[in-house]
Structure 1
């Protein structure tokens, strides 16, 4: 990969939330006096530095969090202004993560006027008791209203859904999102991460609920006309997330903001460089985090882990060309073992995970990682 290749994707992290959900382990914090102003000033400086360091020609921009839509209208305008001044704007897709409780017709129009055309809405459920258990501050009615207002404004809308919650009416949640008219659904299993409130409370997720969520979501959304193009993501025609595809295809992307991760070009013998920004207070001081040079074989295992999440899988010849590694040769034992177990299928250079392989993808990829460790 050329170290001078243009970077075409930008992720911007907005860490502020009205409250912290009990399952959340992202870098988020509640709003405090003066912090947003400091954040916006540092965004301007970091965007200017990135522009001076890399060749940038953006196809997609994604504002995630946190709750980006929690920013006031003037603050959002200032943030977008900094991005556009120094880095440009996405030609094909510009996504804003949105909390349903922050939406009004006027705000939707404002976001669209700033240049956003896709909304990722944290619905999570359309069942009030499930929302209460998840610590969400919006109601099912607010979620429905938010989606309707965004669609009416012309946004392409993706609805986030959490599955494997005990007592959740999953089929009703799925039908509800479909009936609202969203073109994309991201369905994620509730995961209890160390350090979260759920972990401290001893909340658990049964494997039966997890597997049922995995299988019911896939079957029902297929019946409703959504293509499962990635383990957790389903889309109608033309509604795939172009930004997230860049992650799954191991493309380069800029990371802007505290806690944001970026994947950058690098000179040989490295294939690329990853950098994760520190949390807010260190980031406000100008700390940028330590760069991690990615070796060819490490890049390949990253690319396999991400690419096998896709229904389309990976092209082994493409991975070889991009990394300089003979992937089919160096990873032959892992490929062969998982083909025999029915967890992978191969057609020519195309390698894909089966549904059974998707269910235990971490185990599949660990076979590839074991070969890297044996080489080290």
Structure 2
């Protein structure tokens, strides 16, 4: 196992668009979380051969942990599972950054920061319920770069009234080498859903297309449907997801994809998602879901078609045991004819038009 995701659910506040497993901290919760995390890390080490290439601390707001707490968390990971040899990412809220904390995170072994900038416009940040302002976001990114961390900035697009061009130009000017740009999505159960907030399709499409236009002009390549990077600065951890590799999930709400039980002829991998904090703290783990060849192939197609490079069908056939080109010949041909997919030798990839309707494309494979 070469990749580890660690979920830290604690946040200073809950954003109105967020539907992840997050919560504000209460007395004793973090201490209980750290104790249980150590136990789960030890259990994972006893079950799998682990040689980590990447570690990713997400949330939630991992940078919201106090210095002693994040030091203890990293210690648990290193004791039982080791540390990433290629990339170690910490998700960071701009409001938690200082020079001293950036130096601490760097000293703990993090070499990459994923910063929730979301916008560099104060009105947009207020609408999104963010606690930082544009000046604070700029200062945070500058501080992290000064500490020697690679920095990725998150942007949310399609926000009503958002000055997207200045957001993009401003973030690039700060010196980040990676940008993740996500369309504002109104998920059921969120505060935005309760308020009746909507996203206009015109705003969504403008954000989808204009972001690539501007970032391409600044030397960023759109290597995944929502992610842009300078050459060599792609997220190695997230590429493991998009290439449908196995990875460990540690913490409440964390998902992992694991090797099949040796000797199984029909199950290729298993997927397990941990329960939420109050159940996870009792020692309960999520149930393993067996992934057979068909599901493995469609999962790989869905994730691989998000990548600019696409997916190598011969490689997928070898990994899944299915002749993918034969099994999904109808879906491939129909979407090539529509101009949504292109087949280049053994590689299948989505066109720009296909990225815009990718869910429809994938539905064809699921229904084949």
Q: TM-score, normalised by structure 1?
A: 0.97
Q: Deviations for 1:107-133, whole angstroms, at most 9, x for unmatched residues?
A: 000000000000000000000000000
How far apart, in 2, do the equivalents of 1:226 and 1:348 lie?
Answer: 26
How far apart, in 2, do the equivalents of 1:210 and 1:335 lie?
Answer: 27
How far apart, in 2, do the equivalents of 1:141 and 1:25 lie?
Answer: 27
Matched, 1:343 2:340: yes
- Structure 2 partner of 1:319: 316
Shift, 1:286, TM fit: 0.6
Q: Deviations for 1:84-120, whole angstroms, at most 9, x for unmatched residues?
A: 0000000000000000000000000000000000000
Shift, 1:36, TM fit: 0.1
- Structure 2 partner of 1:288: 285
Q: Secondary structure at the match of 2:89?
A: strand
How far apart, in 1, do the equivalents of 2:69 and 2:232 lie?
Answer: 31
Shift, 1:169, TM fit: 0.2
One of 92, 95, 100 as aligned partner of 2:86: 92
Unaligned 5+ runs, structure 1: 1-6, 372-376
Q: Deviations for 1:195-241, whole angstroms, at most 9, x for unmatched residues?
A: 00000000000000000000100111001110000000000011100
Matched, 1:215 2:209: yes
Alignment of 1:1-376 (within 5 A): 7-267=1-261, 268=264, 269-371=266-368
Q: TM-score, normalised by structure 2?
A: 0.99
How far apart, in 2, do the equivalents of 1:260 and 1:239 lie?
Answer: 25
How far apart, in 1, do the equivalents of 2:233 and 2:51 lie?
Answer: 22
How far apart, in 1, do the equivalents of 2:337 and 2:198 lie?
Answer: 33
How far apart, in 1, do the equivalents of 2:71 and 2:301 lie?
Answer: 38
Unaligned 5+ runs, structure 2: none
Q: Secondary structure at the match of 2:199?
A: coil
Q: In the comparison of the two structures, how many residue pairs are matched? A: 365
Q: Secondary structure at the match of 2:100?
A: helix
Q: Deviations for 1:240-278, whole angstroms, at most 9, x for unmatched residues?
A: 000000000000000000000000000322010000000
How far apart, in 2, do the equivalents of 1:259 and 1:332 lie?
Answer: 37
In angstroms, what is the RMSD of aligned CA positions? 0.4
- Structure 2 partner of 1:374: none
Q: List, as ranges, runs of 4+ consecutive aligned residues in structure 1 with deviation greater than 6 Å.
A: none
- Structure 2 partner of 1:3: none
Q: Secondary structure at the match of 2:13?
A: coil
How far apart, in 2, do the equivalents of 1:322 and 1:286 lie?
Answer: 33
Shift, 1:306, TM fit: 0.3
Q: Secondary structure at the match of 1:51?
A: helix
How far apart, in 2, do the equivalents of 1:348 and 1:114 lie?
Answer: 45
How far apart, in 2, do the equivalents of 1:111 and 1:152 lie?
Answer: 13
